[in-house]
Chain A
């Protein structure tokens, strides 16, 4: 079988950085790739059934476009993160960008294999019952089992 393979390591758990793994995984699957995503550290947040807790922060994020220029010190004010998050969500909706839940569901439908890093699940005391169905647990060696045979490997 000459199926191409894509291996992704997803390490970020913010609303914005949740997109690249699911966009690339779903698209690669549509192109006929076999795809595996290894979720570790903050990336584990992307596996929770409910993704409404994901945020985007303007703090320490100087490249984030803001409606009006704001000094960095303002970014620590209460409510700034919530405001940036709801602004991004409404902008995405207006521009026809899929929700993370929708993209993840398309990945599940396309049989993208998702592995949760056992070590960081234990470290952060995540309850795997909070994760969507079909998630496997594994370690670094199980990532290499797939990545070693992959055509593309991406760290995000």
Chain B
């Protein structure tokens, strides 16, 4: 189980806000720390994979439960 250092509530936000808020939140973390993001935008799954790949901040885990998408991204 991944342990987060910070949680970002992106529920109810639509593209591209979850990604933009994530970028901002990661900026407040130090290398190695983990950000947990909760989103409801169905497009978020592909977008977070793409974001992690392009920014080289690893997407450690993602899950879906009750219409919510949960992502754990580690700051590179």
Question: Measuring CB to CB, which residues of chain A are less than 8 angstroms from any residue of chain B?
Answer: 23, 26-27, 30-32, 95-98, 103, 106
- Contact of B14 (CB < 8 Å), options: A26, A27, A31, A97: A97
Given A26-B20, A30-B23, A106-B20, do A96 and B41 touch, yes or no (CB 8 Å)? yes
Question: Which residues of the partner chain B approach A97 to less than 8 Å between Cβ atoms?
Answer: 14
Is the CB of B54 closer than 8 A to any CB of chain A? yes
Given A95-B14, A96-B14, do A27 and B20 touch, yes or no (CB 8 Å)? yes
Question: Which residues of the partner chain B approach A96 to less than 8 Å between Cβ atoms?
Answer: 12-14, 17, 41
B18 to chain A, nearest CB (A): 9
- Contact of B55 (CB < 8 Å), options: A31, A98, A103, A106: A31
Q: Can you sample 8 A-B contacts with CB below 8 Å?
A: A26-B20, A27-B19, A30-B16, A30-B19, A30-B22, A96-B14, A98-B16, A103-B16
B19-42, CB < 8 A from A: 19-20, 22-23, 41
Question: Which residues of the partner chain B approach A32 to less than 8 Å between Cβ atoms?
Answer: 54-55
B15/A23 in contact, CB under 8 A: yes
Given A23-B15, A95-B14, A97-B14, do A31 and B51 touch, yes or no (CB 8 Å)? yes
Rounded to whole angstroms, the CA-CA distance of A26 and B51 in the bound complex is: 13
Rounded to whole angstroms, the CA-CA distance of A110 and B50 in the bound complex is: 19
Question: Which residues of the partner chain A approach B14 to less than 8 Å between Cβ atoms?
Answer: 95-98
Question: Which residues of the partner chain A approach B12 to less than 8 Å between Cβ atoms?
Answer: 96
3 nearest CB pairs, A to B: A30-B23, A96-B14, A27-B16
Question: Which residues of the partner chain A approach B15 to less than 8 Å between Cβ atoms?
Answer: 23
B20/A30 in contact, CB under 8 A: yes
B45 to chain A, nearest CB (A): 16
> Which chain A residue has the least Cβ–Cβ distance from B54?
A31
Rounded to whole angstroms, the CA-CA distance of A95 and B13 in the bound complex is: 7
Q: Given A31-B54, A32-B55, A96-B41, 17 more contacts at CB 8 Å?
A: A23-B15, A23-B16, A27-B16, A27-B19, A27-B20, A30-B16, A30-B22, A30-B23, A30-B55, A31-B55, A32-B54, A96-B12, A96-B17, A97-B14, A98-B13, A98-B14, A98-B17
